[in-house]
Amino acid sequence: MAEAVLSNPRIILLLEHFNIYVPLYEKTIADICNEKHIDTKLFIAFANLYNGVEYTSPVHFNFDQVNQIIRFLKNSHTYYTAEIYPDISSIIREMYTSNGQKEISMVEEFFNEYFHEVMEHLNYEDEIAFPYMTSLYEHIEKDMPFTESTKYSVKDYKDHHNDIEEKLADLKNLLVKYLPPTNDQQKRRRLYLSLHELEYDLNIHAIIEDMILIPLVERMEQSVKQPG
């Protein structure tokens, strides 16, 4: 496993989302997956995404993996809300404090509004979409008819993702191409790299949800017992 991290530093974040932390010692991927009760096939599929492999040949996941996928996504949410978004927000604040540029204050406002939208989306997933999926799985597991009204829509979900990625790209473009020059190149670089790190993780997050989780949930919906 250590080799995977050494050859691609981004894997360390993937591991965090799986609650795996360094040091990894000489343990293999299989060792660690067994220890943490993670399906190896699922781990490899996600790791491939972090290694930049396109998700073209869908892997068949079983219903019982839905909770593992949700745990991973929830950990990513914590990384967004408690770490990277606040980091970015504070770099923009620092930039504004140091140069007082009006354009930066507009960027700050833009980012804060955007952050608010993202929080709403993540809360929606944590409070409505994920519990719905978990409950769906429990009903299949216990072979019980599923009576809950469908509160979540797959389409809503995908629209949200496009929006989140689009505004992030806007910020990157403004920063790299247009914001007037100032003497805070280091802050700009930190901001750019943080935006990039966030974007990279969000892209994969969206792929996991749209191409792995949603198809799995759709299959679950078809096989759950209908009431009556």
Partner 1 sequence: MNKQINIIVAESSLLIFEGLSLTINRALAPVHIIHADSLNEIEKHLISLKQSTVIVNPSLIQNNLKLFTSLKNDYPFVKYIALVYAWFDPRVILQFDAVINISDSPDSIIAAIKKVTENDIPTDPGQNGEILSERETDVLKLLASGLSNKEIADKLNISINTVITHRKNISQKTGIKSAQGLTIYAVVKKIITFDNLP
Q: How far is the CB of 189 from partner 1 (least distance, A)?
A: 14
179 binds partner 1 (CB under 8 A): yes
Pattern of binders to partner 1 over 101-130, x per CB under 8 A? -xx--xx--x--x-----------------
202 binds partner 1 (CB under 8 A): no
Contact present, 191 and 131 (Cβ < 8 Å): no
Among 2, 45, 84, 174, binds partner 1 (CB under 8 A): 174
The residue behind tokens 């869908």 is 58
Among 180, 222, 226, 227, binds partner 1 (CB under 8 A): 180
Among 78, 169, 189, 225, binds partner 1 (CB under 8 A): 169
Contact present, 213 and 73 (Cβ < 8 Å): yes
Q: Can you read off the two tokens belonging to residue 19?
A: 């609650």
Residue 92, C-beta contacts closer than 8 angstroms, at least 6 positions apart: 104, 107, 108, 111, 191
Nearest to 84 by CA among 200, 209, 208, 210: 200
Binding site for partner 1 (CB under 8 A): 102-103, 106-107, 110, 113, 166-167, 169-171, 173-174, 177-181, 183
